[in-house]
Amino acid sequence: MARKRTISLQRKKAIYGVLFVTPWLLGFLLLMLIPFIQSLLFSFNKLTLNAEGYSLEFVGLQNYRHIFFVDAWYVRTLNDAVAVMVLDVPLITFFSLFTATLLAQKFRGRMLARAIIFLPVVLASGVIAKLDSGNFLAQMIGSASADMEGNYSGLRSIELRPLLLQAGLSMEIVSYLTGAVDRIYQIISSSGVQILIFLAGLQSISPSLYEAAKIEGATGYESFWKITFPMISPLILTNVVYSIIDSFYDNSLTQMIQDSAFGRLDFGVSAAMSWIYFLVISLILTISTYVISKRVFYYD
């Protein structure tokens, strides 16, 4: 009688991982691969619309030369988008972890606190904008969201700046912290998914680890840095990657690419802009993943 072939745990994890990414892989091959290749082809050509559809005229690197040496706004806008990402991603990650840690605690009114925390996320989402414009309730919610964003985005840390300077902090750190206060609504509204991911990770940590640490005399501070932080470090990597992609999803640079394609009908230049943008994002994600993954702890 033939013995059944056993599969190792690592092999099972690999199979589950392949099955998990299979829907995305099939969607990419069936729906996105051809446009992906066509956009690269368009970036080296001049596309002209005609009665038969479109015609291509090969221009080589002319579209890329136009972006870097003729267009006065693309490189500047790209630098601004990267700078905003560098400033916001650490703040969003820290705020998400801090908020999820508070919401994971057991206290009376926890569900109400979670609803209040996620209210700015719901108001800032595109769901409100897609509601019927004739709906009075939708108009009231939309106006409340706009007023809330305007009030908090206009918040100026006038008293905080001299206080931090008197505490001996450098001007760069003070400017960073006061800028975070001025952008508090934007940070809160961009942290919804990250809070959910951190909250799920915190609730999956075995309570026996904390019980053992408490028996050994560990304080809450020590338990956080020795147990909580290492256990959710893979989720920190996940949230950083998500926050980077989300920060590049909709900004002034994507609007510039759309205007170039559908406003001026300059599809070749627009495709070149998109590919430069794609390469910059890929480089940032590669560096960020490489650096953070060295500090990630995987519990087996």
pLDDT given at position 159: 62
pLDDT given at position 14: 86
Q: CATH second-level architecture of 61-293? A: Orthogonal Bundle (1.10)
Low-confidence ranges of the chain (pLDDT < 70): 1-4, 120-161, 163-169, 176, 299-300
Query: Exposure of 40 by Cβ count < 10 A (0-12 exposed, 13-18 middle, 19+ buried)?
Result: middle
Is the pTM for the entire model greater than 0.85? no
Contact 153, 183 (CB under 8 A): yes
pLDDT given at position 25: 92
Q: How far apart are CA 63 and CA 42, in angstroms?
A: 10
- The angle, 0 to 180 degrees and rounded to 10, between the axes of the packed helices 74-103 and 110-124 is 170
The pLDDT tens digits for 113-147 are: 777 777 766 665 555 555 544 454 445 545 544 55
pLDDT given at position 155: 46
Query: DSSP 3-state assignment of 45?
Result: strand
The pLDDT tens digits for 214-249 are: 888 888 888 888 888 889 999 999 999 999 998 888
Domain boundaries, the chain: 61-293
pLDDT given at position 154: 44
